[in-house]
Structures are given as structure tokens and as C-alpha cells.
Amino acid sequence: MDTDLDTTLEEDSQYPNDEEVPYSDDETDDELESPSVEPEQNRFNREAEQIQETSKKEYSWQVKANDHNFYDQPQFKKKKFLCLKKSKYSGNEIKTYKYNPITFLPLNLWEQFKRAANTYFLMLLILQAIPMISTVSWSTTLIPLLLVLGITAVKDLVDDIARHRMDNEINNRSCEVIADGRFKHVKWKDIHVGDVIRLKKNDFIPADVLLLSSSEPNSLCYVETAELDGETNLKFKMALEVTDRLLQQEQMMAEFDALIECEEPNNRLDKFLGTMFWRGASYPIDADKILLRGCKIRNTDYCHGLVIFAGSDTKIMRNGGKNRLKRTKIDSLMNYMVYTIFVLLILASAGLAIGQTYWDDQLGKKNVSWYLYDGYDYKPSYRGFLAFWGYIIVLNTMVPISLYVSVEVIRLGQSYFINWDLQMYYPEKDTPAKARTTTLNEQLGQIQYIFSDKTGTLTQNIMTFKKCTINRHIYGQNRAIGGKLSEKLEQVDFSWNMYADGKLSFTDSFLIEQIKSGKDPDVQEFFKLLAICHTVMVDRTEGDIAYQAASPDEGALVTAARNFGFVFLSRTQTTITISEMGIERIYNVLAILDFNSDRKRMSVVVKGPEGNIKLYCKGADTVVYERLHPDNPIKEETQEALDVFANETLRTLCLCYKDIEQAEFEKWYKKYMAASVATSNRDEALDKVYEEIETNLILLGATAIEDKLQDGVPQTISKLAKADIKIWVLTGDKKETAENIGFSCELLTDDTDIHYGEDISTLLQTRMENQRNQAGANLANSQNEPFFQTDRKQALVITGSWLNEILLEKKKKKKKRLKLKIPRTAEEKQKELLNRQKVDAMKEMRQRTFVDLACECHAVICCRVTPKQKAMVVDLVKKYKKAVTLAIGDGANDVNMIKTAHIGVGISGQEGMQAVMSSDYSFAQFRFLQRLILVHGRWSYIRMCKFLRYFFYKNFAFTLVHFWYSFFNGFSAQPVYEDWFIALYNVLYSSLPVLLVGLLDQDVSDKLSLRFPFLYIPGQKDLLFNYQKFFISLCHGIITSLVIFFIPYGAFLLTMGQDGEAPSDYQSFAVTTATALIVTVNCQIGLDTSYWTFVNAFSVFGSIAIYFGIMFDLHSAGIHILFPSTFIFTGTAPNALKQPYLWLTIILTVAICLFPVVALRFFSKTVWPTDSDKVQRNRKKFKAEEEWKPRHSIFRRGVSSRRSAYAFSHQRGYADLIASGRNIPKKRAPLDAILGGNAAELIRARKMS
């Protein structure tokens, strides 16, 4: 690798910000360009270019309100096919189905005949219709082929009908749209771009919509984005002031004729750029004014919007990723094995055709076969050519036509077992498990990597107040009664509080006593802080109080204060009203210092009824401790409490306050107002001012919130880890939150070495430098060297920004200059191509090295990642590790990942169904994943492997008898068996037992499968079905065919029956070999069966009985009279099977075939038992269920293990909204009393800005 290239890449690399979500998937270079100093002439050129190109490049999507004819203009058409054109604006109808009544038959047949096996059998059927080469009736192929095509078509039809129903359910939802001057109810599928729609409370949003107005003050609208990201906390959107003011009446909506120019449809959920032109003025539009499809209207009676993007153009659909055709490893392997059988078939047919040529050339001249003369004087070589095709027909059952349909039937049955599993049913939401595909079941038994979302998948996204520490005391844990810890935890009674919501579960009544008694003023100050210091908004209806928080963490803290007697009641632009133990008090809010990801804290400055000014602050311990007053007596005790909370994986916030003198506040407030009206770098200026007052804080204590995991998550992860399955968490949450959840679900432990972005980058740089310095064999050795020379568990915690940096996915930031287009020489083009190839090679090496590093780790957590990055991580593991992957999530931001993985699982979450609709399997709780994989997946894999091994065996045993017979019939391509036996062998005589094994067999019970996860490992290593197992089945079939042919053949050489006649005719021989074959293969499946039921026993013995019943019917005189040319074995079975000698021959043949198998099985299970054999042998000892014990962290006093997982949203709160007063009635701020005449001047300046 060139040094120059390395230097360039290193120069481009900068340390990324862990808190930032990296660039969105469709971002342009303009958006990525960082501000920098540029030459004056370049600036002039850039501004000129921007004026000309902005509208063309960024705002090429035009939407005209209430004007459908606008979209019929030629510039809005795009070529579809030849000269046919269609509108570039998508309709709102969603189509996931494949067929309609007209296209079903041709399309389905086309898809089925794309399978090599089906096409092969169609060609075979055509060959069998040629009398010159066919020695077998065409019905032997036609009947099985029709059966295969019919069953597959019915299955595809059922699947597509289900897709039709789901599409219709969504497309036929109702919505109100302006038409003919008033709102009318129309179906979602009839909504078009440019329509003005009305949505009501709890409605799903049908398209991407520009918010125009709502029932809330100043046209606020609250939405729940669970469908997008699984989060249930409400987010607010706000309409433009002009539309809020003018578009409240239905008539105004109908007359609304604005033109919207905005960016083209893309997958950026968090960004939107556009401009509205209306009544001669233009208004900027951003993402805060857009309601996205899939979200739900909450706490808003109604709202109006203009459809910007519809159907497949909406952001939720754009984030869906490509639909990929998913096939299992066994499918691919099975196809290669079928190709191998094709080759063997051709070789065998060619060899026998050569034998026919030789036999006709050498013996035909001597007239040995005069009775075979057909009246044609063909040359021996031509007869050999005809014999080749004849043997292709005779030996065609080597490629089993019923294999594919049998596999589909087994998969369908296994899918129903998943749907019917009551242990995967979630009664709280009446949600059963659902196998949404029938083609991937056995792949569930081979999973090596699981990629999981966090919010709504591992967690419930429900925050609960668990513990706190105030003035050296920890509340919320067991207390000693009479010197002993109380074993029984009693819930605190909150009935004394009229405002308590009755949902908080708290077990320490001592805290209630402290609050009521007032002995410790810090306790009351603690909860007063929680009731005041926040950006929560309240909704009071009919006496009920409902909080709307920017994050569930903040909502949990305010709700906790409410239950403990400090109730947030209402707020205006400059006041907040709380109830302190039943007494209402109003505090003047002088300033809100909002949270952001850099500050990791928020503060509020208030003036109490007594006139004293206080600053209340809550934030991450890492930033709060830096700002504490040197004299804080509870600092050490609070730190120890934080360590205890961290060991219990609780999310913590430190609470502190500060008394502020009037003069100090006035001085600071002037700086604050000046920073508020700054025209440049306003955020930086405000942060600097915030720092000045957030000093010398007095620590009150800390809160501990539980980010509630779903039930059974740690147990499930522990079980899957024992099955050698690695679990990676991919989330959009901030690093601290993701890491804390890693500890909660025991992916991370105290004895795990955690590596972050900078560590990973250093490790990769070192490894790649070593690889560049080595060559040849040394390079291979360096690639195989482990990254970590230790036995300790390793884990990666990496952010999306670092991921782009490490994987060289970071988009280049282009500097815009005046470019002169000068033709490049061939040498320059070649040099550019070589440089591009070098960059691509380095990128691939870097990605491969990163995957090797990550796969060495026990756990990987990727946080602050975009949907595209989630899919990219999955794809990298698929590409470089060739591992079977599973992705599980619950939101639209997980759809791309779910589609990319080999298997996608959707969680039926709070409201989101987008992930479920795109998934292969779905259920309601993460804990069901262990049963899906370790029980259903493992059983499905074992069953399918056993089925395939046996299926190939029985077909080889059946078909190769023809091969041996050819050496004794002059290579004439005459079959051994009757035509009807050939047609019914795979359909009736040997199909049911093996199908039941594929559906019902199990080596150990479901409880033992869960108790011993290591039993899952053989599936990951492909131990039960591979080419070795295939050739063992081939050899077993060859040996069985040899015995089935030569034992009866030897018995028929010198034989005399009881009636003095030798039963050595061809038809008796055919019956004898066929009977021996049926008994042998059905007894063989009995030996392969691990789990016997009445159904299995009935199928084995019933198949033999069916064979005898049908054979005697087909050989009867009555059916021969009706169809004399079709049924020619008249009386053969009754005559042959009345001879005891033939029965002895059949029994001897079966015994020789089966006894070696029994002996070998006994020897292998005794000498080399598998793990499954050992568990099965001792299953009675393991009847009692193993109890899972959580891993407890060891708390060492004085040794800080604190993980600062602060409880805060990773976005700004509602501070700007509150300060603007747009959501609440405005009230005059009492700042004149504080600042005198300066207040009016400062406020006027702020408004002008």
C-alpha cells in the first residue's frame, strides 16, 4: 500500500463525536461540508453556483395543495416502458403481494419451472412421450410432477392471500380528505400527494404530511413514533405560524393553494428541507413540521396536514431496504447435491449406453437376442444413443421429484408448530408467535450471530423510579427490622396522597415517614427539585393529570415526585405550579438551562414565593461532581451509593442546588439575555453562560431509575451464549444508555474488558501496519493472530460515528472551487483508476480486520447508529464470516437490518408493526427467542437433516437396482419394477414415515433442549448434513441396492416351487425385489426414528400394508379386464407370494440390509456417543428444571466501578418550546421587579432577533 494513500486517509480521519448520530443514508455532499475558511474567489463562485443550483438540486420535488391536475404536467412524468410514461408521484396504495387472479397461474408456473429439478422432469416427461426411447410409461413422471406443482402452487397461493389481506387492511383504513370544499372519508389507498387531510386523536398517519394546524395552542401536535423506532415517549411537531393562524376553518382548507418545493423522497427520518410559497411570501420548512407515516397522533384532538410524500416515497418505506430472496444453507447444499446426482445420472446412463453399444455389436451379430429384434436395423452406436436416453428415463428417480414438495410440506408443518406453541403466546396482548415464512425453519438451527435492537426489543421502554440516596441515606432497599433484614418486601401505601397515580411500586416506607415528618429538610428539597427542574408538560382533563415528557426518564422522575407528595400541576411561559404535600406554590421560572448531549445536565433558575432565587440542577455524576462546592459533606457517601446503583445496572442522576444572590443573578441574567440574541454561535455562547452560574453546587443526592428490561432477557441471553451464539446490540441510543443495558442483560460484566472507538481504531491501525510490513506466509499468520492475548472476556462499545471512521464509510467533504473542465489524458485516467482500486482494497482490508476483531469479542454494542449502518454491520458479518445471522427488532428503523440478515424476527411491540410486517418470524417478547432457536430451530434442523439423508438413501436403494439389472438384460433399459410401482414408490409406499420423521422427530425434549444449550452447536458446524453425510447415504443406498438385487437374483437362479414350477419369471422377480425394498426402507426409517408415537408406528406398518393392498388390487384379474394394456402383471402377486421360498428370500434380504445398521448404531452409541445421546440416556436425572441464577456484581468499597449511565433523553427537551410560550397561555414575567427598566429593553432585543 502506498504511503501517500495512507497519509491521505489518516489526514481525512478526525476523532468523531460519540454523541452524534452519523450522517443519514442519503445525505449530499453539501450537507456534509464542514464550515471552513475558503479563498474569496471561491466564495463568490460558490454563492453564484448555489443561487443557480439550490432549487434544482435540493428542491426538485413540487407539491401543489388541492390541485390534482398540477401533477399531470409533462415534467412530472417518467418513462416506465418504451414510450409509456407514468407520474413520478407514487400513489398511497401499498403492494406486497406477488400475484393477482390473472397472473397467478403463468407467474407461479414460471417461478416453479425456474427450479432446475422441475424443468428437468418436464423435459423427462417429453422424452417419455417418445416411444422409440421410452421403456417406462409417461404416467410415472406426470403424476408426481402434477402433485409437486399443485402442492407448491397451493402453498404459494395461501401465502399470497395472506399478503393481500394485510395490504387490504392497511390500504382500506379511513381518513378525511378535502374534496369538493369539505372533508370526506376516503380510503388510504385513494390519498394523493397534494391532498389536505384531517387526522384525529389515536389515528395513524397515512403519509408524510406537512402539519398545517391542530386543535392544540399554536398548532402543536404530539406524535408517538413507536412504529418508527419503538419509543413510546411523545414527540411534538409544530405548524408554521401563518398556517396556524389562517388554516383553522374547513373553507380555508379547501381554498389553500400553496406550492411546496422540497427535497426528493429519501430515507432520512430526522431531516427535511423545503419551502412553502403562499400568498406572495415564502416560509422555510424543516423536520419539526413534518408528520411521518406510521406515527400515531396522541393527546391532540385533531390536526390538518398536506400530503408531501405518499406510498413508496414515504420515509418509512424508504427505510425498508431491499426485499431479499432468503434461502437456507441446506437449500443451497441440496441444490448442489441434486447437481451432483445429475452428473452421476449422466455418467451411469453413458456407461450403460456404452454397454448397450458393445452388447449389440458383439452379441447381436450372433443372433443371441433374436427374440429382442424390433424390426429396425439400427447401427449399434445409434442403439447406444437411444439407450442413453432410455436410461436417463429409467434412472430418473435418482433425482427425486418428490424431494422439493416433501421439504415444503415439512416446513409448512414446522411453521404451524411454531404458530401453535402456547409457550410462545403472550396473553397480555393476545399475541401468538407467528412464522411468517415457511422456507427458513431449519436455518433457525444454525444461527451464529444475533443482532438485536435495544429499545422495545430488550427493554420495555418503561422507566421506573427504584431507589434514591438523600443526605447519606439510601432509600428503596430492604431495611433491618429487629437486627434482621426483612425477607418480605411490602409495597408503600400512597393512599394518603390524592394525586398519586397508583402505579409506582416502592418498598421503603421509611422515605414516606421522612417526607411527612419533615425532620430532614433535604428530603423535601430533593423531591421539590424533581417537581420543578424539568421540561415536562402537563395535560389536565377532568381532574386527571397526564405528563408529556421528552424522554421516559424525565417522565419517571416527575411521576415519582408526584407520588411522594410533590406534584407538578401546571406551567406558563414563566411560572410553574406545584403542590408540596397538599399546599400549592407558584415559582417564577427565570431561566431554563436545557439539556444537550455535551452538557449532560439541565438546570432551572426559579424565584420562590418568599423571593429567594435558587438554581436546581440534575445531571450525570461525571459532570455534576466537577461543579460541586468544595465543601460537600455527603460527596463520598453519594459516590458509594452511585457505585451500588451502578452495580445494580440502574440509571442515575445527581441532584444539586445553589442559592443565588439578587445581584449575582442580575449580572448573570444580562449575559444570558445577550447570549440569547446572539446572531452567530448562539448555542456555544449560551453554554458558556450556563457554565458561569452552574458552579459551587450543593449536592442533595441521586436518583436511580430502572430501564425496565423485558421479562427473561438476561436468562435468554445467557442460554444463547451457552449455545455459542454471539449477540450484538445495534441501537440509536446514546453510548451510556446502551452500555448500561449491556450490563443489565449481562452481555457485559465487571470482569469484561470494554474497548471503545479510539481503542478499536488503534488496534486496527497496528494490525494493518503489521500486515503491510509482512508478506507471504507471514501475512497469513498475522491475519490469524488473535487481537487479544488474554483469557478475559472482551467487548466492543462503538458509536456510529466511530463505525464510519473505522470502516472508511465516511463521506468525503468536498471543497467547492471554480472548476475548469480540462480533458484528462489516458495516463491520468489510469492513475485515477489505480488510486480508486487501492482505496477500495484498503477499505475491504479494514472492514475484514474490523470484523475479525469484533468476532473475537464476547459482546459487541453499536450505539448511535442509523438504520443503514445496522444493515451494514449485519452484511459485513455475512460477507466476511460466512455466518448465519439473525436480526431482531420492533421498529421501522430495524426493517433494513431484519431484511439483510438471513433470518429476521419482529417484536410485536407497543404499537409498531412495521418490523413485524417485514420479518420472517414474530412474537411479543424477546425471551421467546430462546425457544424459537434452541427448540424449534434445533428440532427443525435435525428433522430436515434426517429427512434428507434418508430420502437420498431410499431413492438410491430404489433406483440403482435398475443399474445392476442392466448387466443381465442386455443393457436394454428395461426396468426391474412394474410401472405402477415406480409411479407410487415416492408418493405412497415410502413417503409418509419419512414425512412424519421430518415433522415430529426429536432427539431430546424441549425442556432438555433449553437446559443444555450446547446441544445446539452441531447445527452451527453443519455436522448433520453435508457432503460427507450425502456420500454416506449414497454408499448405504448402493449397498442396499446390491443386496436387494443379488439376493433375490441368486435365489431365482436354481429354484423350484412347491407346484413343481420354477418362480423365476421376470414378474415374480419384480414383485420379490419390490417387496424386499419396501420392507427394508420402511424398517430403516423405523431405526432412524428417535421419538416414537402411535402415528409413527402406524405410518411405518401402514405404508407396508398399503403396498400389499394396492399391489394385490393392481395384479387382480378384474382390473386387467377393464384396462388390459395398462395392468399387465395379472395374478403375479398372488402366485409369487404364496411360495414360502420367496418369503424366506425377502426376509433374508431385509435382514442382511438391516442387521449391519443395527450393529453399527449400537457400537457407535456405546463407544462414541454424541452429546445428544448422553443427555437422552440420562434424561430421567434431568427432569427437574434448572433454575437460572442472575450474576451478582461484587461491590468493593472504595473501588469505584461507577458507569455513568445518566437518565436523560439523547435529544433536547421542551425548553425552547416552553420559553417561546407557544404551547401555553402567555403570562407577564415578573422580571421588572428583578431587573428594573433593563428587562423591557433586553426582552425587546430578544424579540427583534
Q: Which residues are catalytic?
A: 453
15 by Cβ neighbours in 10 Å (0-12 / 13-18 / 19+) ranks as: exposed
Contact 1180, 623 (CB under 8 A): no
Spatial distance between the Cα atoms of 804 and 795, rounded to a whole number of angstroms = 19
Spatial distance between the Cα atoms of 929 and 779, rounded to a whole number of angstroms = 40
Contact 1013, 722 (CB under 8 A): yes
The alpha helices in 694-808, defined as continuous H runs, are 713-722, 735-744, 757-773, 777-784, 800-806
C-alpha cell at 478: 430492604
Spatial distance between the Cα atoms of 985 and 143, rounded to a whole number of angstroms = 12
Spatial distance between the Cα atoms of 755 and 846, rounded to a whole number of angstroms = 17
CA distances from 689 to 243, 666, 1236, 1248 (A): 35, 13, 21, 21
Q: Which long-range contacts (CB under 8 A, 24 or more apart) does 410-416 make?
A: 410/943, 410/944, 410/947, 410/995, 410/998, 410/999, 411/438, 411/439, 411/441, 411/442, 411/940, 412/155, 412/438, 413/998, 413/999, 414/438, 414/441, 414/936, 414/939, 414/940, 414/943, 414/999, 415/441
Hey, which residues does 297 pair with through a beta bridge? Answer: 223
Residue identified by cell 450425502 is 1030
Spatial distance between the Cα atoms of 844 and 1007, rounded to a whole number of angstroms = 44
What is the identity of the amino acid at 591? A
Hey, which residues does 63 pair with through a beta bridge? Answer: 260
Residue count of the chain: 1249
The alpha helices in 679-756, defined as continuous H runs, are 682-693, 713-722, 735-744
Q: What is the per-residue DSSP string for 790-858?
A: SSSEEEEEEEHHHHHHHTT-PPP-PPP------PPPHHHHHHHHHHHHHHHHHHHHHHHHHHHHHHTSS
CA distances from 974 to 121, 133, 317, 1003, 1071 (A): 20, 11, 60, 42, 15
3-class SS letters over 900-939: HCCEEEEECCCCCCHHHHHCCEEECCCCHHHHHHHHHHHH
The order of strands in the sheet holding 220-224 is 234-238, 220-224, 296-298
Spatial distance between the Cα atoms of 199 and 306, rounded to a whole number of angstroms = 11
Q: What is the dihedral of CA 674, 678, 681, 685, to 10 degrees?
A: 0
Of 960, 945, 951, which is closest to residue 1081 (Cα–Cα)?
Answer: 951
C-alpha cell at 64: 401543489
822 by Cβ neighbours in 10 Å (0-12 / 13-18 / 19+) ranks as: exposed
Of 926, 1182, 886, which is closest to residue 1019 (Cα–Cα)?
Answer: 886
> Using CA of residue 886, residue 887, residue 889, residue 892, what is the dihedral sign?
negative
DSSP 3-state helix, strand, coil percentages of the chain (rounded to 5)?
Answer: 50, 15, 35
Which phi and psi angles does 21 have, rounded to 5°? -75, 130
C-alpha cell at 1222: 407557544
Q: What is the per-residue DSSP string for 337-385?
A: HHHHHHHHHHHHHHHHHHHHHHHHHHTTTTTTTGGG--S----HHHHHH
